[in-house]
Chains A and B, each alone.
Chain A
Amino acid sequence: MQQRVLTIALIIGLGFSIALLASAMSAWRLPDNQQGYAPQQPIAYSHRLHAGELQINCVFCHSAAESSRYAGIPSSDVCMKCHRLVTAPYNVMQQELQLADKEKRPPKTIVSAELKKLYDSLALDDKLQPIPGRTPQSIAWVRVHNLPDYACFSHQAHVAAGVTCQYCHGPVESMERMQQFSTLAMGWCVNCHRDATRNGVNGRQVHAATDCSVCHH
């Protein structure tokens, strides 16, 4: 009797262990696989808002993607094309406008905490005037997509071939915080190259070579 209880207990225990292990195993990755990497950024920039809701084209900010190896992280002055006027979320600015209208006073400039960091990097104060004695500093963005040094990837080549941004970067327009969608492993690259040569990209015939030196030089 006692032995039977023990056996049952052991079996249940084993089942639990396997279940736990399996769930843990599924989260394991091969070394250097950074899929799902979504680090916190110095400014809580939302691709969902900009690319999704506001439908800003990817290459408006990542303009080098069409002409260089790198897509480029936009410099702060690109942000200032809009954020010279938009200093806070839309609803906050609207509320202030209505309030000012009601109270019969000129609206105050409201600067959101995140945008303050942007202005700070450009050495601008809340009224967007240069702060004397300070020079603009770069924002230390955390790189999400990071290839090893021995792999050379060209955005230009892929954009020219008609590969959409989302194909590799995933549904960026729905990401609140940017994360790595694909594995970026060599097998993933090579499979796509083979597939593209066989089936074309968006109906276009392409030749995506799989010679080593295409990426490794």
Chain B
Amino acid sequence: MAAKFMPPPIAPFVTTRDVFLAAMTKQRSEFRPSETKPHSLVRRGGNQVAPAEAAALSRRQFLEAAGFTISLAAFGGCGRAPVDHAFPAPAMPAGTIPGQLRSYASTCTGCSAACGLLVGTRDGRPLKMEGLPEHPLSQGGLCAVGQALPIGLYDRQRFAEPLQNGKPAEWTTIDHEIVQGLDRIKSQQKAVRVVTSTVTSPTLRARIAAFVKQFPDGRHVVFDPNSSSAILDAHQQTHGARVLPHYHFDRATTVVSFGADFLGTWISPVEFTAGWSSRRAPQANKPEMSHHVQFESRMSLTGSNADRRYAIHPSQQGPLVGRLAEIVATLAGKPLPEKPVANMDGKFDQQLAELAERLWHERGRGLVVCDSQEVGVQRYVNYINHLLGNYGTTLDLERPSRQRQGNDRDIESLVEELSAGQIGALFVADVDLLHALANRPGLADAVDRVPLSISFAPRGDEFTTHAKYVCPDHHPLESWSDAEPISGLMSLGQPTLQPLGNTRAMMESLATWMGQPTTTLAALQAYWKDSVFPRRPSSASASFADFWDVALRSGFVEVTPEPVKINEFNATSLKPLMPTTAADGFTIVLYNKIGMPDARHAHNPWLQELPDPVTKVTWGNYVCVSPADADRLQINDGDVIAVSVGKDAPQLELPALVQVGQHEGTLAIARGYGVKGTDRFAKVGPQWIGANPTVVDGELVGVNAAVFQEFRSGMLRYERSGATVAKTGKHRALAATQKYNSLELPSNVAPHGAEHRDVIQRTTLAAFAKDPHAGAAEHHATDTQLWPEDHPKTGHAWGMVIDLNKCTGCSACVIACQAENNIPVVGYDEVRRQREMHWLRIDRYYDQVSENVDVAHQPMMCQHCDNAPCETVCPALATVHSSEGLNEQVYNRCVGTRYCANNCPYKVRRFNWFAYPHPDLRQNLVLNPEVTVRSRGVMEKCSMCVQRIEAGRIAARTQGVPMADGMVQTACQQSCPADAILFGDMNDPRSAISAALKNPRRYRVLEELNVRPSVSYLRVVRNRDEEARRG
């Protein structure tokens, strides 16, 4: 609310909220129990204060003190508010309007998928990341990681200046020494290696190539911690080009995935989700949708959305792909000369035969993907897609993807070279080499022996402690960039504020050391002029300046792709797979969580507190154990178990989580945790007398599971067999946001006939084709009204429809809501106490009816009931109904009785048990000035982004036009990669939501309570032939 206008963007400035929060922090620290806390406050066994000690104050003294305080407060209230200043900028940049939202098209750098981004800025501060609606890949969606970018920008733990041997230094000194060191290495003919994760920026790639070319033995090594190297290598062998196909899930009617979590973390999840979900909306007059089959060993987000999901042991993956190839080859009339697998147990033969039949029937419209890091398996995957004619339709090699370029063989040889001491200079960017290669324990010493080691990391990590120089890169929102995620699709990223620290872009650092100092913008323009502009479409302007301006304004431009030479399919490359024998013990499966696609995001508190869509656990990693193994070993959720491989291999201690749907004999552990510096979160959240730290002393958030990786035949493998498990007797409760998992109520609790709850309604495609209303719950329609119908909504009636068949549970909306609505981070202990503050949660339910468990995801937020139970019980009238159907929460009226939360059947209200100030005041810059920061003792909940509705209304009235449908988008709707959320005016007969309300799949949760929610859901339809009992 503070109308403070920015001084120059770098200068720190203070808003009323900062002052307010500073005061709160001060106050809180004063009251924080110190070491010499009064004896009466010591907690004894539970939360009770010993009565004898509590009576330190007599009744009389208490009344005296109370009377004095009240009279003081009464006098104090009559005074003036504190003097508040406003600081207009000395010179306002042209075109800026104080307080107005300005959006800039840019490119996301959260992972290598390079989605389109709209950076929303106010008063020069980037605040809200949104998807770029016109972008051909992400189509307006943006994942949780992209949404969470801005909080990292205002992080004071980012390096503010370059370091030399761990001490701050001047750029000039460092540059001078590095140039000298490079000259020495050049004359000694030693090796120079630049290690990065996938560089989607063609300009930076060209710059690195030019940089390493200066040296007799210079190479650019691409290391993806989440690598798809085997797919690239397989295409090298089968198609003669080391490329990653561009997968088109939007064109696939049958999707078969062997372990690939393409809706979660695999290659380009936002784009794949958009494509996949576009085929998941069956219409009553056209009951068609894609068929999705998943074979996997752990329960992934993708698997939880599949029509058929089969739990397999990791050792079965290769044989199953081989068997499918064999059957498809027979169908194609080109039987394989050699059986891909010698010993097949034939367990899934029938399913594979049916699947092959379906794929063959839908030739050119199927898609088979696999996350295997075994080149032999990927060759068979390619063969299946080749035989089915999927290349050219659902897989594009002409315009290949550049989103994964990593080459694991290069990494393996780099590790050998490092160990042998052959490297003269080592440059590392985007990846913490020592954390990601924790499976090579001696690597840190080897790095110490490198004469010149340079890190570009923005924060301290394991590599920076061993690097001679740290040349911190800008935050992506401070820097120019470009990207080419798909050959021919060029996008630009633009800075939205001045660098907050004395950092420098990697491009500029390399250019300086090459003796050709340049700015990133100049380098980009030069590259685009030489290499992109000549490939422009014929419709583009003939002037480069215009071409650049158009690309910058729209964020991307499509140009002619660079030609790729693709050979005929080389069937001779197919070789039978090595016979796999299931080793003794457990097989560890390493994966990435949705909120933590790689370790770079470990410092992001929003992502750390994002519940995993499947396990619902926040803060840290854990071992997922199958229910059968858990039963056998007597393991419960939260029991700390020790996992080890071999005798002298490292041992990790993690809490266990029993995960349904996981194959017996496997242990799934998330990578990207145990990152150096994450002990910073020890004191995140309120520090009160009963608080438990988020991070235990001397530990980090989670542990680094990369120790279990191994190089096998040139590939970094993310599964490891022969693991053993031991119970430690310790327990660490998991901070899960959902503890009830099943849609079934135990029969001793449920009333007769209500064992199955209709919170999620499901059906199958076969049943849907017969009756579009199939799966509807049978309720006695309760339509009686306690109140007279004297509040007709004649204007707008805001409502929302969520298509559960499209929703994958990816949780992008959760972070979008957090960023838009100033939702605090509460820390491990508060989440454990069910006090997380997310206004929008995603409920996940298991249906244990079938052997292969069905999973459903359901975004749940305030339902804005017409007969809202919360409103009738509020004694302060702090929650009331608006004339447009919104359930309003008025913070300044709320006195915190919490009656409303108790009376809410959806349990969507959140209570501020504490004030949650940012420990670092600079992080207050991320707060959205359009939304009040709630104080302690106040209830809050989803407002349907009423600030956006008001902004839309004002914009429409200023133009003198009615509010158009689609003019207002809620934050969750805007970011949804699956386009599953629809918001609009239910009174407008032409609005999209009015049409959606007539959808036969539409239902409302807990409709039988007659609370008349404004949020509707569309029923889940699984593409199955049988007409299931309920779904």
Q: Which residues of A contact B (CB under 8 A)?
A: 28-29, 31-32, 34, 37, 39, 63-64, 67-78, 121-122, 135-143, 146-152, 154, 156-157, 160-161, 207, 209, 211-214, 216-217
Contacts and interface: CB of A to CB of B under 8 A. Distances in A.
Interface in B891-915: 891-892
B932 A150 contact: yes
Interface stretch (B55-63, B93-101, B174-182): B93-101
Contacts of A77: 90-92
B98 A76 contact: no
A32 to B, nearest CB: 7
A147 B363 CA distance: 65
B81 A72 contact: no
Given A69-B99, A75-B90, 15 more contacts: A28-B78, A64-B97, A72-B98, A73-B88, A74-B88, A122-B90, A137-B7, A146-B81, A147-B1, A149-B932, A150-B892, A152-B932, A211-B882, A212-B888, A216-B932
A10 to B, nearest CB: 29
Given A67-B100, A146-B84, A75 B92 contact: yes
A34 B882 CA distance: 30
B2 interface: yes
B484 to A, nearest CB: 37
A148 B1 contact: yes
6 A-B pairs with least C-beta separation: A136-B90, A31-B77, A138-B87, A211-B882, A70-B99, A160-B958
Contact of A213 (B85, B946, B954, B958): B946
A149 B1 contact: yes
25 contacts: A28-B78, A68-B99, A72-B3, A72-B97, A139-B87, A141-B85, A142-B86, A148-B1, A149-B1, A149-B2, A149-B17, A150-B1, A150-B932, A151-B1, A154-B950, A156-B954, A157-B953, A157-B957, A209-B883, A211-B886, A211-B888, A212-B890, A213-B890, A213-B943, A217-B943
A138 B7 contact: yes
Interface in B919-965: 930-933, 943, 946-947, 950, 953-954, 957-958
- Summarize B's interface: helix, strand, loop or mixed: loop
B100 A213 contact: no
Contact of B950 (A37, A143, A161, A214): A214
B983 interface: no
**Size category of the binding interface on chain B:** 35 or more
Contact of B78 (A29, A152, A157, A161): A29
Contacts of B83: 39, 142
B77 A212 contact: no
Contacts of A138: 7, 87-90
A75 B888 CA distance: 37
Contacts of A136: 90-91
A154 to B, nearest CB: 6
B769 interface: no
A168 B595 CA distance: 48
A157 to B, nearest CB: 4
B294 to A, nearest CB: 42
Given A154-B954, A217-B950, A211 B883 contact: yes
A74 B3 CA distance: 12
A67 B97 contact: yes
B880 interface: yes
A163 to B, nearest CB: 12
Contact of A75 (B88, B795, B954): B88
B948 to A, nearest CB: 9
A8 to B, nearest CB: 35
Contact of A217 (B8, B77, B883, B930): B930
B565 interface: no
Nearest to B74: A31
A62 B524 CA distance: 39
Nearest to B879: A212
B946 to A, nearest CB: 4
Interface in B42-85: 77-78, 80-81, 83-85
B20 A68 contact: no
Nearest to B92: A75
B3 A143 contact: yes
B84 A31 contact: no
Nearest to A215: B950
A76 B90 contact: yes
Contacts of A142: 83-86
A216 to B, nearest CB: 5
A152 B1 contact: yes
A2 B467 CA distance: 100
B927 to A, nearest CB: 11
Nearest to B85: A140
A217 B80 contact: no
B852 interface: no
Contacts of B886: 211, 213
A207 to B, nearest CB: 8
Contacts of B3: 69-73, 143
A72 B1 contact: no
A33 B97 CA distance: 29
Contacts of B97: 63-64, 67-68, 72
B947 A75 contact: no
Nearest to B7: A138
Contacts of A70: 3, 5, 98-99
A143 B85 contact: yes
Given A37-B80, A67-B97, A212-B882, A217 B932 contact: yes
Given A76-B90, A217-B932, A148 B892 contact: yes
Interface string B199-234: 000000000000000000000000000000000000
A31 B78 contact: yes
A214 B283 CA distance: 38
Contacts of A69: 3, 99-100
Report which residue of A64, A141, A213 has the largest number of chain B beta carbons within 10 angstroms of its beta carbon.
A213
Given A149-B20, A160-B957, A216 B91 contact: no
A212 B1006 CA distance: 27
B847 interface: no
Contacts of A31: 77-78
A77 B5 CA distance: 14
A29 B81 CA distance: 12
Nearest to A207: B795
Given A149-B17, A160-B958, A76 B81 contact: no
Contacts of A141: 85-88
A19 to B, nearest CB: 21
A213 B879 CA distance: 10
A67 B95 CA distance: 12
B888 A149 contact: no
B891 A73 contact: no
B744 interface: no
Contacts of A156: 954, 958
A74 B78 CA distance: 32
A28 B78 CA distance: 8
A206 to B, nearest CB: 9
B188 to A, nearest CB: 46
Report which residue of B88, B886, B958 has the largest number of chain A beta carbons within 10 angstroms of its beta carbon.
B88
Contacts of A121: 90
B87 A212 contact: no
A118 to B, nearest CB: 10
A141 B85 CA distance: 6
Nearest to B882: A211
B40 interface: no
A50 B90 CA distance: 20
B558 interface: no
B957 A161 contact: yes
A186 to B, nearest CB: 9
A138 B87 CA distance: 5
B866 interface: no
A149 B16 contact: yes
A115 to B, nearest CB: 15
A90 B1 CA distance: 39
Contact of B880 (A64, A140, A149, A212): A212
A141 B86 CA distance: 5
